[in-house]
């Protein structure tokens, strides 16, 4: 059964029960995933998924039900369950209403690629083989694991306040790991995120995987302590930013007293070299769209301008708490997987967090550092979302002397605070890269500490 029919059935069943407001979020997806194990393609799987989230407001009582739905009967049962849940729920005095229609379309990102939507299993095999073949160097390197995933998504939001919008997008995501053979194995990791096929270069990814594994095999344990210029690339920085600044910008976290930037609008919160935008118009973004997942029109907005906090981001509920319009940041979608989105509640998140790049290339930025360290890879690059503190295991890094990388190191902890680091930005490169729901460049910071194993 098609998505429109399923949603209409759920809407009719819900409204018959007589609640004040009804919202239906429907999503239909197709995912094709290929898995590599021990340098060979081991499995390809296709998943077709369709489901609904029904939200009900019965006065100030809220209820929600979600389920995979492929029949009209399943849709009706989901809707009725949401109504029953609302009527059994406590009163929420802070609730106002679901979003109302009327917001004009402000951005129209190009995030649908027919080439991605119709990639075949054999084409995924060809991509994976190119990556693997470009990674290998005789019997020196192997590819222990890898994944290539493509997905297409259609989502729709309809509510009793006149909202009736849709979104369609595609994505291609891959993650591969290489490892050198020998007494001291070195590891290389590469990821790729895009709505489009055109930017994917499997041969270049394979070459980078090989080079990273070889460099990692030459690491020596870092000894002692150092505090100075630390360069962090987009793949690590994106996660560190989202788990710090991304959380601090959320109006939900502000209201829950979990944001480091509570009451800081209009104040300087980062270095003046930092400008952060939420740009759903950028077709490179994995979550870019004309509307958020509540049907609110998305817009390009500056969140931090030359170090000054300009605004928080809002879904409809948290906007009502401040008596303002929602900013179009109520999201259910994820940047690397479309399966089961209808099971996720609305969260407040940047749709596409973009850090304005600098003018130097990454190579020029490295060459400008007299004494520092380049962090190539850490384990789990996340920070404490409330305090900003982090202690990250460095698995591969490079000591820089006189603008040259002179030593490859591992077995160290990178220790600091992300909110403090953002106030001590040394330089910003021009190499903006898509990673999850961010587009960020390489950035160097002052004051982060590196602590060795002895």
Q: Name residue 169's beta-bridge partners.
A: 153
**Cα separation, 247 vs 254, whole angstroms:** 9
Q: Note the pLDDT of residue 26.
A: 98
Helix H segments across 282-380? 316-321, 362-367
Q: Note the pLDDT of residue 139.
A: 85
**Cα separation, 273 vs 427, whole angstroms:** 8
Choose among 319, 324, 316, 322: nearest CA to 294. 316
- CA 118 from chain center: how many Å? 24
Domain ranges of the chain: 3-216, 220-452
Q: Note the pLDDT of residue 453.
A: 80
Whether residue 43 contacts residue 124, with contact meaning beta carbons closer than 8 Å, is answered with: no
Choose among 101, 148, 202: nearest CA to 336. 148
**Cα separation, 431 vs 357, whole angstroms:** 7
Q: Note the pLDDT of residue 271.
A: 98
**Cα separation, 439 vs 353, whole angstroms:** 6
Q: Is 238 helix (H, G, I), strand (E, B) or coil?
A: helix
**Cα separation, 449 vs 226, whole angstroms:** 6
pLDDT tens for the 454 residues of the chain, in order: 899 999 999 999 999 999 999 999 999 999 999 999 999 999 999 999 999 999 999 999 999 999 999 999 999 999 999 999 999 999 999 999 999 998 789 999 999 999 999 999 999 999 999 999 999 988 899 999 999 999 999 999 999 999 999 999 999 999 999 999 988 899 999 999 999 999 999 999 999 999 999 999 999 999 999 999 999 999 999 999 999 999 999 999 999 999 999 999 999 999 999 999 999 999 999 999 999 999 999 999 999 999 999 999 999 999 999 999 999 999 999 999 999 999 999 999 999 999 999 999 999 999 999 999 999 999 999 999 999 999 999 999 999 999 999 999 999 999 999 999 999 999 999 999 999 999 999 999 999 999 998 6
Backbone angles phi, psi at 372, to 5 degrees: -165, -165
Question: The tokens 């680091």 sit on which residue?
Answer: 421
Q: Note the pLDDT of residue 389.
A: 98
Cα distances (Å, whole numbers) of residue 336 to 125, 164, 174, 327, 414: 19, 26, 9, 23, 27
Cα distances (Å, whole numbers) of residue 309 to 314, 321, 436, 452: 15, 20, 23, 35
Question: The tokens 């979600």 sit on which residue?
Answer: 66
Strands 225-232 and 371-378: parallel
Whether residue 276 contacts residue 355, with contact meaning beta carbons closer than 8 Å, is answered with: yes
Give the CB-side neighbour count of residue 126, counting CA atoms within 13 A: 7
Q: Note the pLDDT of residue 137.
A: 83
Class (C level, CATH) for 3-216: alpha beta
């Amino acid at each position: 059964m098609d998505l429109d029919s399923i949603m209409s059935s759920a809407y009719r069943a819900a409204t018959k029960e007589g609640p004040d407001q009804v919202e239906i979020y429907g999503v239909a997806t197709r995912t094709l995933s290929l898995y590599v194990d021990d340098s060979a393609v081991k499995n390809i799987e296709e998943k077709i998924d369709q489901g609904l989230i029904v939200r009900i407001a019965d006065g100030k009582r809220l209820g929600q039900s979600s389920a995979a739905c492929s029949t009209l009967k399943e849709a009706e049962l989901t809707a009725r369950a949401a109504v029953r849940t609302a009527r059994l729920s406590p009163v929420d005095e802070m609730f106002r209403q679901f979003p109302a229609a009327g917001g004009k379309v402000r951005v129209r990102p190009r995030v649908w690629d027919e080439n991605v939507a119709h990639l075949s299993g054999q084409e995924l095999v060809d991509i994976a083989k190119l990556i693997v073949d470009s990674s290998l160097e005789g019997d020196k390197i192997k590819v222990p694991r890898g994944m290539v995933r493509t997905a297409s998504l259609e989502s729709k939001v309809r509510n009793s306040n006149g909202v009736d919008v849709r979104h369609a997008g595609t994505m291609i995501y891959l993650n591969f790991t290489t490892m050198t053979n020998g007494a001291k194995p070195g590891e290389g990791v590469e990821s790729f995120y895009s709505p489009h096929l055109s930017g994917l270069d499997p041969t270049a990814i394979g070459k980078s995987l090989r080079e990273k594994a070889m460099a990692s095999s030459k690491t020596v344990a870092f000894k002692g302590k150092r505090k100075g210029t630390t360069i962090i690339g987009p793949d690590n920085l994106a996660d560190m930013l989202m788990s710090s600044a991304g959380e601090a910008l959320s109006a939900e976290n502000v209201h829950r007293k979990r944001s480091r930037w509570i009451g800081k609008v209009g104040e300087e919160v980062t270095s003046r070299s930092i400008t952060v935008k939420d740009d759903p118009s950028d077709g490179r973004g994995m979550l870019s769209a004309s509307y958020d997942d509540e049907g609110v029109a998305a817009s390009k907005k500056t969140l931090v301008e030359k170090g000054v906090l300009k605004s928080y981001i809002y879904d409809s509920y948290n906007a009502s708490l401040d008596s303002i319009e929602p900013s179009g940041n109520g999201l259910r979608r994820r940047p690397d997987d479309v399966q089961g989105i209808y099971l996720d509640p609305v969260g407040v998140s940047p749709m596409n967090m973009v850090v304005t790049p600098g003018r130097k290339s990454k190579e020029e930025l490295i060459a400008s550092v007299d004494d520092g360290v380049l962090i190539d890879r850490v384990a789990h690059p996340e920070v404490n979302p409330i305090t900003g503190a982090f202690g990250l295991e460095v698995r591969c890094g490079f000591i820089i002397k006189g603008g040259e990388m002179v030593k490859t190191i591992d077995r160290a902890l990178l220790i600091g605070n992300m909110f403090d680091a953002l106030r001590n930005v040394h330089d910003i490169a021009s190499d903006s890269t898509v990673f999850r729901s961010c587009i960020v460049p390489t950035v160097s910071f002052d004051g982060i500490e590196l602590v060795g194993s002895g």
